[in-house]
Amino acid sequence: MPIANRLYAEFLGTAWLVLGGCGSAVLAAAFPQLGIGFLGVALAFGLTVLTMVYALGPVSGGHFNPAVTVGLAFSRRFPWSEVVQYMIAQVLGGIAGAAILYVVATGKAGADIGSFATNGYGEHSPGKYGLLAAAVIEVVMTFGFVTVIVAATDRRAHAASAGLAIGLCLTLIHLVSIPVTNTSVNPARSTAPALFVGGAALDQLWLFWVAPIVGGAIAGLAYRLLASED
């Protein structure tokens, strides 16, 4: 598949993830009478990935996340020469999704986007969790997410079930970590809304690059050892 096709697929998939996942938090969860709540936001993130893995996975591999791309490179399932290109496409896609969401969210009188589904720690954590707790949960949850992705897409696994496993895994991750950091495990997802909010969201953005990338890299290396047939 030509690289341009794959980069467009990563752009589109990441835009859908941010629009669907963050959109559920910014738009639907803001109205308790709709009944979506905490579980609904977690499920929305899982569904965005599940749908795009099946739709665009055959084109680009369905990463939609710089931490996943790095993890797959460490597992020797993705070429290092294309990592930066994938990451740029993912970040740009996330920004596009956040831009659409911003236009919609501010499309009424007196609109207030609030935190705009940004990630944070300390005073900017939903549960006021500190830096250490935020770093640990992001590393560990990204480790688990990338492990599921690498394992579910292994040539020895059942390919048809990969999207379901990945989507449900992301749902589970959100159920656990929304109170701590509002759940990142994806630097592109964190960067996009932070650009529209600024302030502390940008000041704390470094963590939501470093922790997921570290977790993804460890998962890629660990699975390479786990799955070795030597």
The tens digit of pLDDT for each residue in 181-222 reads 999 999 999 999 999 999 999 999 999 999 999 999 999 999
Q: Is the residue at 111 inside a domain?
A: no
Instruction: Name, in order, each residue with C-beta under 8 angstroms of 213's C-beta and a sequence gap of 6 or more.
Output: 66, 67, 70, 187
Q: Is the residue at 156 inside a domain?
A: yes
- pLDDT tens digits, residue range 63-90? 999 999 999 999 999 999 999 999 999 9
pLDDT-derived band at 50 (thresholds 50, 70, 90) equals very high
How much is the pTM? 0.95
The count of domains in the chain is 1
What is the residue range of 189's domain?
Answer: 3-105+117-226
Q: Is the residue at 135 inside a domain?
A: yes
Q: Is the residue at 15 inside a domain?
A: yes
Token code pair at residue 161? 């079930």
Q: What is the mean pLDDT of the chain?
A: 94
Q: Is the residue at 110 inside a domain?
A: no
Predicted pLDDT of residue 213: 98
Q: Is the residue at 64 inside a domain?
A: yes
Q: Where are the beta strands (DSSP E) in 46-124?
A: none
pLDDT-derived band at 111 (thresholds 50, 70, 90) equals confident
CATH of residue 221's domain is 1.20.1080.10
Q: Is the residue at 183 inside a domain?
A: yes
Q: Is the residue at 16 inside a domain?
A: yes
